[in-house]
Structure 1
Amino acid sequence: MAAGTPQLPPTVDPRSGFCRETKVFHNLRDPLPLPPESLPLSAVSFALSLIPSPLPAQPALVDAATGAAVSYPDFLARIRNLAAALRTGAGVSRGDVAFVLSPAGLDVPVLYLALLSIGAVVSPANPLSAPSEIAHQIRLSNPSVAFATTATASKLPAYLPTILLDSPRFRSFISADVAAAAAAQQQQQPVEVRQSDTAAILYSSGTTGRVKGVALTHRNFVALTAAYHALTREVEDELPPVVLFTVPLFHVFGFMMALRAVVLGETIVLMERFDFGAMLRAVERYRVTFMPVSPPLVVAMAKSDEAARRDLSSLRVLGCGGAPLGRDVAERFAARFPHVEIVQGYGLTESTGGVAGTRTPEESKVFSSTGRLGSNTEAKIVDPTTGEALGPGQRGELWIRGPTIMKGYVGDAEATAATLDSEGWLKTGDLCYFDDDGFLFIVDRLKELIKYKAYQVPPAELEHILVSHPGIADAAVIPYPDEEAGQIPMAFVVRQPGSMLSDEEVMDFVGKQVAPYKRIRRIAFVSSIPKSPAGKILRRELINQAVSSPKSML
């Protein structure tokens, strides 16, 4: 049990956090005090109150491609200027939804924080989405204004008022004359934002169904940023903290990491579009110390020849989320980069990205675990068939409750009711278990389990084994229809350059490490695995491809 563990009732196991009376898992972290919920407070005002004083000397923002930088004083001034200009020059007010369709750039974090500070609702979307996908998101969020670029604006409906981030008008909003901006701010009544107000509508990844709009409140973000601030480590390092964003700002992982970096006074290095080689060059050029990543990126770094050639000695920590990270991958990465700690975490868009995580090097060595529950968070493991709450070591659906849980799905009361119960429990849809020390393990998505005869096969388990093979660069496993078994495990495999692996060799490699019912029985070699911007495998695309492809192609 970690030092500083909170006082727990006698019915709660101090090792696992499990209460034998209520069947609830309690967190084993220090209690985290939060501002009273009744206190008017925006996520931005709370976050900016936590920025180190005096302001950090290093830049707040850096463009990875050009090297253009924004200092912390200029960053804060831009937020204030833009907030004032949006109210007076664009008519944006509290409660208005602002749809943002832009690649990552120096203006995007400024825009997010300015909108949040005046009580507007930020709703960012993937700029690479098809117009039909964007139309669906706009129907859900019902924005009154959009922010786009010249390259993305054509995807928006003509009726939606749109401000271009690369226009002279927006530039005037950002760089308003200091005196004029101060005078405008003095004439404006301050916006009173309630913590219960919706702060953002973020879109779920849609890996298993239609995209949903997740309404997150200022209270959700206050709780999350308070947790980040409390986790600040006193580390003596000659390098200033620099974060390279490999995850998109429109996704909950990127959104929350941006808030985290601001709260901790770090430098954010932004890439307009992710490229593995460009990422390695940026780490080297800007002496990056921290990167939020997904497991496929850890795999790529562990296997890449280019990663071995680059000077990545500045890297201290990788924050890994989005999917479980297997032991073989973690150990292979550690062998190549012994100076880099991998901190694992688990969260959902519906939980503002936060549920559990590892906090110390010792916790990070509990391989395949996503860590322990975060402060102020409770959990249950529920049998999906009987509804019975289960104890340590037993697998079931993870339910969570705490101050980071969403308000609901916008425009979808039915989906909200199916996901959030009357007591505030969020049903995650993930098959999980806690061990006897309170560490959370993600087995797979309940809806993604392969039903082979009377057995359930987790695709993620087979994927971890596949990517541990030196001749495999990436892999995904799906259910394939079978008349006798119902479903069989089918693997899509990306070979390493130069590899001549056969399907028999792949099946044999996996078959030696699993029970007979888990064996892969069908293989397709492909050039890439389709994934969401957060690195999650898009199984629906692979399933559609598998069932529609002639057998000769597989």
Structure 2
Amino acid sequence: MGGRRRRRRCGGAREMLRVAEKYRATALTASPPVVVAMARWEEKIDLAALEFVTCGGAPLHEAAAHQFISRFPGVELRQGYGSTEGGGIARMIDREECLHLRSVGRLSQNVEAKIVDSVTGETLSIGQTGELWIRGPSIMIGYVGDEKANASTFAPSGWLKTGDLCYFNQDGFLFIVDRLKEMIKYKAYQVPPAELEHLLLSLPGVADAAVVPYPHEEAGQIPMAFIVRQPGNNLKEAEIMDFIAKQVAPYKKIRKVVFTSSIPKTASGKILRRQLRNHAIYSSMSRL
């Protein structure tokens, strides 16, 4: 899945890097797929003038960030976070901040934020995960003519509900855990796919991974992993399940694995989870 789309993205990355080399670019803005392509670039290219790359649009996995830094040790990899409704919410601005590879930086100027329990509405503290609410002069004031959307998006006092599960550390760095609507409902628990994907990408032999919910009669949903193996690797389903089971709570364990040639993603690198879910359910039904 997604082979043609991936080739087009790689072609775009190649052209961008050639232009950056020709004109001695000092700064680039890139989506995660382009950052990954840069890190894995095999051809000789001179980017000595490059000072920093700003990355956003989708999560950049820590393994990919390490690979980029190893390839371009003198280039700052600045991650950021924003949305259409909220504008620029957080970003990194210097080399020291760039060392926080799993973070998207600190809050931008004039942005106020808090972490809220999406069930109780309680404001949470440092290190606790909940929905990120934001407000400020750059935040949109509402959807025109859509009162239902406004009611579900905004809280009293002008807070905008981002729909993202996040937490802040003691130094004010923001960490994105997952999208609230992407959570897998296993019995009475919620399982964030991004957490499992991060662990899967640290397993030698895994080139790419995605986790989606799969219908289950007893549990409601179970975590299901789509895995792209590294060339020449022969990872087995049991190895992947055991690797995850040793690192997570029992309710977060991977309970089904599918091997595939590629993970479908948008141009910005966001996983097309609905496409994967539909593929898994359709394939299962066709075998009945």
| TM-score band, normalised by shorter chain | 0.7 to 0.9
Please give the alpha-carbon distance, in whole angstroms, between the structure 1 residues aligned to 2:268 and 2:41.
24
Q: Find the partner of 2:209 among 466, 469, 475.
A: 475
Could you tell me which residue of structure 2 aligns to residue 299 of structure 1? 36
Pair 1:273–1:408, CA change in 2 (3 A): farther
2:146 corresponds to which letter in structure 1? D
Identity rate of aligned residues, in percent?
62
- Find 1:458's aligned residue among 174, 192, 196: 192
Residues 504-523 of structure 1 mapped to structure 2, 5 A cutoff: 504-523=238-257
Distance in 1 (alpha carbons) for counterparts of 2:25 and 2:230: 27
| Deviation, structure 1 residue 411 | 4.1
Larger radius of gyration: 1
What SS does structure 1 have at the residue aligned with 2:38?
helix
Summarize the alignment of residues 221-370 of structure 1 with structure 2, pairs less than 5 Å apart.
275-302=12-39, 304-306=40-42, 309-352=44-87, 354-370=88-104
Following TM superposition, by how much is the alpha carbon of 1:350 offset from its aligned partner in structure 2, in angstroms?
0.8
8 Å Cα contact 2:212/2:223 also seen in 1: yes
Letter in 1 for 2:96: E
CA distance in 1, matches of 2:31, 2:70: 19
Instruction: Give distance in 2, aligned partners of 1:486 and 1:512.
Output: 23
Kindly state the Cα deviation for residue 356 of structure 1 after the two structures are TM-superposed.
0.9
The CA distance in 1 between the partners of 2:164 and 2:120, in whole Å, is 16
1:293 to 1:503, Cα distance in 2 relative to 1, 3 A: farther
Per the alignment, residue 378 of structure 1 pairs with: 112
Task: Look up the match of 1:413.
Answer: 147
Task: Give, in angstroms, the shift of residue 526 of structure 1.
Answer: 2.1
More strand by share: 2
Question: Does the C-alpha gap of structure 1 residues 415 and 272 become closer, same or farther in structure 2, counting only changes over 3 Å?
Answer: same
Q: Tell me the secondary structure at the aligned position of residue 355 of structure 1.
A: strand
**Aligned partners of 2:161, 2:201: CA distance in 1, in Å?**
30
The normalised TM-score by structure 2 is: 0.86
Question: Aligned partner of 1:298: which letter?
Answer: V
Evaluate the alpha carbon distance shift between residue 328 and residue 535 of structure 1 in structure 2; reply closer, same or farther with a 3 A threshold: closer
Change in 2 beyond 3 A, CA 1:492/1:314 = farther
Structure 2 CA distance, aligned partners of 1:395 and 1:424? 21
> Shift in Å at residue 371 of structure 1?
1.1
Instruction: Provide closer, same or farther for how the CA distance between residues 546 and 346 of structure 1 changes in structure 2, counting only shifts above 3 A.
Output: same
Q: Distance in 2 between matches of 1:425 and 1:328?
A: 34
Cα shift at 1:332: 2.8
Distance verdict in 2 for CA 1:523–1:449, change over 3 Å: same
Match of 2:270 in 1: 536
Distance 1:315 1:501 in 2: 38
In structure 2, relative to structure 1, the CA distance for the partners of 1:473 and 1:425 (3 Å cut) is same
| Distance in 2 (alpha carbons) for counterparts of 1:272 and 1:408 | 34
Q: Report the alpha carbon displacement of residue 305 of structure 1 after superposing the two structures with TM.
A: 4.9
Of the three residues 495, 502, 515, the one matched with 2:229 is 495
Computed over aligned residues only, the root mean square deviation of the Cα atoms, in angstroms, reads 2.5
Q: 1:318-366: CA deviations, max 9, x gaps?
A: 21112333433322322222111111111111112x0011112111112
Structure 1 residues 482 and 339 mapped into 2: Cα distance closer, same or farther (>3 Å)? same
Q: Which stretch has the larger CA shift, 528-537 or 508-517?
A: 508-517
Matched, 1:427 2:161: yes
Contact 1:329/1:468 (8 A) holds in 2: no
**TM-score, normalising length: structure 1:** 0.47
Q: Number of residue pairs matched? A: 280
Q: Distance in 2 between matches of 1:345 and 1:471?
A: 29
1:429 offset after TM fit, Å? 0.6
| Structure 2: gaps (5+ residues) | 1-7
Q: Secondary structure at the match of 2:49?
A: coil
- The change in CA–CA distance for 1:292 and 1:512 in structure 2 (over 3 A counts) is farther
Q: Which residue matches 1:549?
A: 283
Aligned counterpart in structure 2 of residue 390 of structure 1, from 111, 124, 132? 124
Shift of residue 447 of structure 1?
1.1
